[in-house]
Every structure is written in C-alpha cells, then in structure tokens.
Amino acid sequence: MTDIYSQQKRNRRITISLMLGFFILVIGVGLSVDVYTYGSLDFTGRLPVATIIAAAFASFNGFAAYFYGSSMVLRSLGAESLKFEDPNHKRFRNVVTEMALASGLPMPKVYVLDDPAPNAFATGRNPESSAVVATQGLLEAMNREELQAVVAHEMGHIKSFDILTMTVVTVLVGTVSILSDWAVRTWRYGGIRPRRSMKDRGGIHPLILFLIGFFVLLSPLFSRIIAMSVSRNREYQADASAAEFTRNPLALASALKKIAAHTSPLKKARRATAHLFISDPLRRRLDDKEGFVADVFSTHPPIEERIRRLEAMGYLNNGALGQ
C-alpha cells in the first residue's frame, strides 16, 4: 500500500501530464489544419489561425477543467443542496462532519442526487474546494455506520487528491467525447457530404473529413484513456483509507454489499462521469472480471474483491483486539 503523500504526488503528476497531453493533442489538430490550408509548415507572413484558435481553446478548457471542473460535474449530474427538513439529509451532513474530523480535512460541501440507486462520489481540485455527493437512495439504504464508511471512502479520495485527477479527466475527456460523438453522428447521417458553397470554394471538404475521421477514431479510445488514468487501484486505496478513518472495515464491506445488491443504473451517470462514483453507476459487466483486459478498460474493481479485502482487514482487527 502506497502512503498518502506518494498518492498525492502521483495525482499531481498525472493531472499535469493529462493537461499537457490534451494541450498537445488539440494544438496538433490545429497545426494539421494550418499545414493543410497553407500547404507547408512555413508560416512566414501568414498567421497559423487554426493553431492559435486551438491553443486558445486548449488553454481555456484546461483552465476551466482545473478551476470549474467540480461545478461542471455537479451541475451535469444535477446535484442539489441539502434539505434539512429531511432527517436523512441532516444525518448525512453530520456524518460528513464526523469524517472530516477523522481524516483531519476541512469540511467539504455536501450535496444530494435525487436518484434511488445507492451511490456516492467526491469532486474538487483540492480538499479546501471539495464536495461530497450521495444519492437519495444511498441515504435511505445505509445505516449510520455504513454511511460513515462510504463518506470515509470519499474522504480518502479527497485526501489523496484523486478528486483532482478524476475531475480533470472528466472535463477534458468529456470535451473530447462531445467532439467525437458529434463526429460519429455527422459521419453516420451523411453530414460529411459537402454543401454547395463549400464545394464552390473547394478544398474544405477533405479537411472536415480529416477532422471528423480523427475524432471518430478517437471515440473508442476515450473510454480507455479514462480507465488508464483512473486505475482501479484507487478504489482499493480509498477503501483502505476508509478503514483507517472509521477503524471499521466491516461497515464499508456491508455498505458495498447493499450497493451491489441494487442493480438498476444511475439515471444521470454517463461514461465521462462513471469513474467518479464509489461503485460503477452504469453497472458494466467488465467490472466484475479480473485480468489484463479488465484492468485496462474498466474503471472499478470487482465489488466482491473489495468486500473480501475489507473483511480480511476486519478479521485482522478483531483478532488483534481479542488478545
């Protein structure tokens, strides 16, 4: 098990490489467009307009992903503030306060998703700007100790700066996925046939074709990029942090069992946001498999394996206390 400081360092490193990779990708597209229109790499006397636009777009997007990523995620999933008439919401807020004390982190903002599927996630760029979100279904299904364990798991993601990586991945990959979805749709429904005005000016059609082809190729890659940067290991590490904060690994095991028993997917979750949650909200089959393919393509480890590890920790604890 790597300690929390190396996890933090790793997450900062991954976030920076993701930003750089995104920047290079977008500028590369811009540059190819310029090379295509001007016919060479020699821009003397001419402005590489597409490259400049691409650089502006990439900077804007990187900036937005870092500073506004969590609000974008919260808005796109429809997170709502707590309603204190509901005793469940009050209890949730109390439990988050308790876990903030146990982890020594500042109090995160607390939101609820109105969905019956029990699930939870955390987002933000650092502990000071973090937010913890649970579905209404989770608040209703869990007892106090189980809720504590789930929130402690999310505090683990916050403390290790997993939230930074996961949020930046969501926004950057989300942007690329919007572009590639658009490209795939254009490809399918014949939008690539040149309109008359373009045909008259000539030369633009193959360029658009190139861009569309590029994003169509990118589309299947995109799930893989998420899965690779958000390794399944994080979930095991956050589970271990939860056990450390609550000193009660069995509570998380029983929470995961309840979550696994609920099979309907979360309505508002998308491919781009799925990796944020404590358990895969899309209920993809691949998650339950072990091995290389699952490791590369899946965002969540099999829930049975997580439960097994937590229960092993629990028995270890009880054994130590019994002596």
Binding other proteins by CB under 8 A: which of 75, 193, 224, 247? 247
Decide: is 82 part of the binding site for other proteins (CB under 8 A): no
Q: Which is nearer to other proteins, 108 or 174 (CB)?
A: 108
Categorise residue 10: left if φ over 0, alpha if ψ from -120 to 50, beta otherwise: alpha
Q: Which is nearer to other proteins, 91 or 267 (CB)?
A: 91
Q: Which is nearer to other proteins, 79 or 141 (CB)?
A: 141
Decide: is 321 part of the binding site for other proteins (CB under 8 A): yes
Q: Which is nearer to other proteins, 247 or 308 (CB)?
A: 247
Q: Where is 113: in which H helix or E strand?
A: strand 109-113
Question: Which residue carries 């990586």 as its tokens?
Answer: 165
> Which residue(s) pair with 113 in the sheet?
135
Here the tokens at position 85 are: 């008439």
Q: Which of 80, 98, 128, 154 is catalytic?
A: 154
- Quote the CA–CA distance of 265 and 282 in Å, as a whole number: 5
Which among 278, 248, 245 has a CA at the least distance from the CA of 145? Answer: 248
Q: Which is nearer to other proteins, 16 or 101 (CB)?
A: 101
Q: Where is 80: in which H helix or E strand?
A: strand 80-81
Only segment of 8-16, 49-57, 72-80, 141-149 that touches other proteins (CB under 8 A): 141-149
Decide: is 101 part of the binding site for other proteins (CB under 8 A): yes
Decide: is 143 part of the binding site for other proteins (CB under 8 A): yes
Q: Is 154 one of the catalytic residues?
A: yes
Decide: is 319 part of the binding site for other proteins (CB under 8 A): no
Coil vs helix vs strand at 116: coil
Strand ranges across the sheet with 80-81: 80-81, 109-113, 131-135, 120-123
Binding other proteins by CB under 8 A: which of 15, 70, 103, 237? 103
Decide: is 92 part of the binding site for other proteins (CB under 8 A): no
The interface mask with other proteins, positions 38-77, x = CB under 8 A, is: ----------------------------------------
- Quote the CA–CA distance of 241 and 86 in Å, as a whole number: 29
Decide: is 83 part of the binding site for other proteins (CB under 8 A): no
- Quote the CA–CA distance of 101 and 279 in Å, as a whole number: 24
Binding other proteins by CB under 8 A: which of 6, 17, 81, 94? 94
- Quote the CA–CA distance of 241 and 176 in Å, as a whole number: 32
Here the tokens at position 183 are: 């490209």
Residues in the site for other proteins, rule: CB under 8 A?
A: 87, 90-91, 94-95, 97-99, 101-104, 143-144, 148, 245, 247, 321
The catalytic residue positions are: 154
